[in-house]
Amino acid sequence: PDGPRSRKVPGPSLVKNLETFAELVSIAVTNAKLVGALNRTVKLFRALLETTVAMQAPSDLPDTLKTIGEQLNQLVPFDEVSVYLVDWNKNLLKPIYAQGRYADEVMSDTGPISGLAGDVARTGKVTIVEDSVEDPRVEDIPGLEDLEVRQTIMAIPLKGKSGTVEGVLELYRDKSRKFTDAEWAVAEPFASHAAMALENAKLRDEQKQNLEIAQK
């Protein structure tokens, strides 16, 4: 408090009252933080439940990844998302899902295991890029070479049960809203769901191929 109307220095009684009031404000602020944290936790569990349900549904891989992306976007807002499948045998990064302004260009961008996604695939480590233009690992997407878009990127390796990187999940948004480690902690379980979806799709493809071979 400032500028008492009486223009007198507060006495002990008033100081005591002010201290009591300050303690009550502190309790209220702490309770508000706890309620906010609880609400965020409930929202996280609800989103994870939705993704778990999606994993059980008989839908194809893009639909499953779309659900995972939509639920994640509620907690870690992003402007664009892309998921790449890593083909170690052919040294290829294959885009299998993308949403955003440049989704069509991303989906046509099959290439070698290189760039930011390639680095994350090889190291198996999460990487947060502050400015896509300043980081030499961020490669131009064919068709967008002349467009300078400054973004922050969170690139997450998608590891299977064996620990092998099966793919890479990348989130993008304007560089003024840098991704944080706290957001990575929230995104991690969703990345695990995406990795599981990739692995399940791979197993289904192998079973289909084995069945076709057995029927010949």
Structure tokens at 187: 């995104």
Residue 61 has what pLDDT? 82
Q: How far is CA 215 from CA 201, 206, 210, 211, in A?
A: 21, 14, 9, 6
Mean pLDDT by 10 residues, the chain (216 residues): 67 76 76 62 63 62 85 89 93 93 88 94 94 89 71 93 91 92 85 84 71 67
Burial class for 128, CB neighbours closer than 10 Å (0-12, 13-18, 19+) = middle
Residue 60 has what pLDDT? 79
User: Which one-letter DSSP state was computed for residue 58?
Assistant: S
Q: What is the pTM of this model?
A: 0.70
Residue 183 has what pLDDT? 87
Residue 145 has what pLDDT? 65
Cα–Cα distance measured from residue 6 to residue 152, given in angstroms and rounded to the nearest whole number: 54
| Backbone dihedral angles phi then psi of residue 53, each to the nearest 5 degrees | -60, -40
Residue 119 has what pLDDT? 95
Residue 16 has what pLDDT? 76
> Could you give the 3-state DSSP secondary structure of residue 134?
coil
